[in-house]
Structure 1
Amino acid sequence: MTREDHLQYRPCVGTMLVNADGEAFVGKRIDNKEGDWWQMPQGGVDDGEDLDEAMLRELGEETGIAGKHLQIIHRMQNEVYYDLPPELQGKLWGGKYKGQRQHWYLVRFTGDDSDIDLDAHKHPEFCEWKWVAPSLLPELIVPFKREIYERIVSAFAPLISAGTSR
């Protein structure tokens, strides 16, 4: 991939947040009116922002969870890329990107469900949330991200119950 191709992808972080039972957090996006799709927390990385800080910021904005309730277990070594479907290209992110390049984290949630507050940020992204078996994640996400979720689940599955740190 050339540098020019690389710049056509929005830099992003994503988090597979797992609880003590090994279940993964998913949220139903407020702005998705066309299906019953759920996703893991994710969001853009600001220019010059440290990846760990971006992940903690995004996770806090989308779930309201404070850092004291989080343990970073692992970050995937390589970025994963996805393209937006043609009907969305030019419409999201000011039309600047054709997709995203993502750094994915596995993070253990050590708090209580009452520590989750979808309205903690002034612009909530999720209207509902739930814990699910990680194996179900690919079938819950919008179809154009399914392959990415399969890769994430495969990469993190051995670490979810192991509780190892990065």
Structure 2
Amino acid sequence: MDALTYRPCVGIMLLNAEGLVFVGRRKSKRGPDVHPMPYEWQMPQGGIDEGEAPYDAALRELREETNVRSAQLLAEAPNWLTYDLPTEIGKKSWRGRFRGQTQRWFALRFTGEDTEINIDAPDNGRHKAEFDAWRWERMDRLPELIVPFKREVYVQVCAHFAHLAGA
């Protein structure tokens, strides 16, 4: 997989007025009787379309995954953060074209009401749900909630945006 490139992507740390961060639980392809597995919680993220600016992609992905439109830019991570997919996942994801993702992260303040968040019919129902549950979480807990191969990126994101934690 060394010759493969990284998929350009954005990540969004959405903070509420108390400085807690939105996390969604990835929608499972397992049946309803199966218990949730660890590390299914993550912040919104997604690919950058050709010709799209990273910040515009972040706002679009936030809408497509959470329905949120009420947000203000707080900060942008100073550099791109990269992770490799485990080999078995890399062969299935994106038809094996990428070795992982390189992400530009943005911190946004949620200025709306929690009722604006709609993970069941995001972007006013124009997109498939990617999360089956969500909650506000302390920033310092984020790295322990994400899949291990993304953990170092979350550690770095939290370090970049640590000054935004709390009200």
The verdict on a shared fold, with TM-score over 0.5 as the criterion, is yes
Q: 2:63 aligns with which of 51, 60, 64?
A: 60
Distance 1:145 1:122 in 2: 24
Does the C-alpha gap of structure 1 residues 98 and 32 become closer, same or farther in structure 2, counting only changes over 3 Å?
A: farther
Partner of 1:72: 73
State the match for 2:105 in structure 1.
104
Q: Name the Cα RMSD after superposition.
A: 1.8
Report the Cα offset of residue 74 of structure 1. Answer: 0.8
Whether the aligned pair in 1 keeps the contact of 2:79 and 2:104 (CA below 8 Å) is: yes
Aligned to 1:8: 5
CA shift, 1:109, in A, is 0.2
CA distance in 1 between counterparts of 2:37 and 2:87 reads 18
- Structure 1: 5+ residue runs without aligned partners? none
Provide the TM-score with structure 2 as the length reference.
0.88
Residue 42 (structure 1) aligns with: 45
Which letter does structure 2 place at the counterpart of 1:38?
W
Question: 5+ unaligned residues in a row in structure 2: which ranges?
Answer: 31-35
Query: Does structure 1 residue 88 correspond to structure 2 residue 85?
Result: no
Letter of the structure 2 residue corresponding to residue 103 of structure 1: R
TM-score when normalising by structure 1: 0.88
Instruction: Please identify runs of 4+ aligned residues in structure 1 that moved more than 2 A.
Output: 31-34, 159-162
Please tell me the residue identity of whatever aligns with 2:156. R
Alignment identity in percent?
47
- What's the CA shift for 1:71? 0.5
The one-letter code sitting in structure 1 at the alignment partner of 2:27 is I
Q: Give the corresponding residue for 1:126.
A: 131
Where 1:106 maps in the other structure, the secondary structure is strand
Q: What is the CA deviation profile of residues 45-90 of structure 1, one whole-angstrom value per residue up to 9, with x for unaligned ones?
A: 0011011110000000000011xx1010111120000000111112
Q: Any idea what SS the aligned residue of 1:98 has?
A: strand
